[in-house]
Amino acid sequence: MLDVFPRFADDPRRRPPEVPAEPMLTIRQPAGDERLVPVSDLVASEAAVDRTVDFHCVTTWSVLNQTWTGVPLRTWWASTIGPLQQTPFAVVVGLDGHRAVFVVDDLFADDVLLAWNLNGEPLDHRHGAPLRLVSPGQYGYKNVKHVAAIELHAERPVSTLGAKEHLRARVAEEERHSRWPAWLVRWPYRALVPPTAIAAERSGRQR
């Protein structure tokens, strides 16, 4: 367990993106429908909640009892976008180009938030401003920072992380890698934690 919440990324050289003055969330449906929602509308939502949860990185570190403020994705979607289309897959896209592939049932689980505050403070560039996906039951690479778009897909999209991305990435099942068992990757991942965190923090200061 860590006492601090470091900036971390699959590519620690990736710098935080510039956030638009009026950030938007793009919703893309399989039929080609597209909708833009101002992030300010989410922040003003009456459905906003505070939730204190643990965060687990696939590389074996965790930080406990982090309080996020945001809207439950499933509730917000139903009230703002409409009924969820019966599609099996989804992709969440960050302003920094990171893309995470989901089973729709995982993305729209009861505990998943679109969050804009962390521990009572607005998200900064280190932790995903202006909007972050918070999926406590999945490893950190599914908790996409700087959320810019949510896409629904009828076919399974290709992962930009390759075999490193497990489709489900459930913490309780230790689904750390799509091909290799958890016991095989646990120690190599752990060895990468210090240099990755240092490099990610350094690139975060170079924005």
Please give the structure tokens belonging to residue 15: 């710098």
What's the total number of domains in the chain?
A: 1
Cβ atoms of residues 139 and 56 within 8 Å: yes
- Whether 205 maps to a domain, the answer reads no
What rounded mean pLDDT belongs to the chain?
A: 93
Model pTM above 0.85: yes
- Whether 206 maps to a domain, the answer reads no
- Whether 196 maps to a domain, the answer reads no
Looking at residue 124, its pLDDT comes to 93
Looking at residue 78, its pLDDT comes to 96
Looking at residue 206, its pLDDT comes to 59
Looking at residue 182, its pLDDT comes to 96
- Whether 5 maps to a domain, the answer reads no
Q: Which regions in the chain score pLDDT beneath 50?
A: none
Provide the residue range defining the domain that includes 93.
24-190
Looking at residue 117, its pLDDT comes to 98
- Whether 19 maps to a domain, the answer reads no
Q: Which residues of 20-42 are buried (b: 16+ CB within 10 A; e: fewer)?
A: eeebbbebbbeeeeeeeeebeeb
Looking at residue 9, its pLDDT comes to 80
- Whether 141 maps to a domain, the answer reads yes
- Whether 12 maps to a domain, the answer reads no
- Whether 9 maps to a domain, the answer reads no
Q: What's the CATH code of the domain at 33?
A: 3.90.420.10
Looking at residue 203, its pLDDT comes to 78
Looking at residue 207, its pLDDT comes to 54
Which residues on adjacent β-strands are paired with residue 128? Answer: none
Looking at residue 152, its pLDDT comes to 97
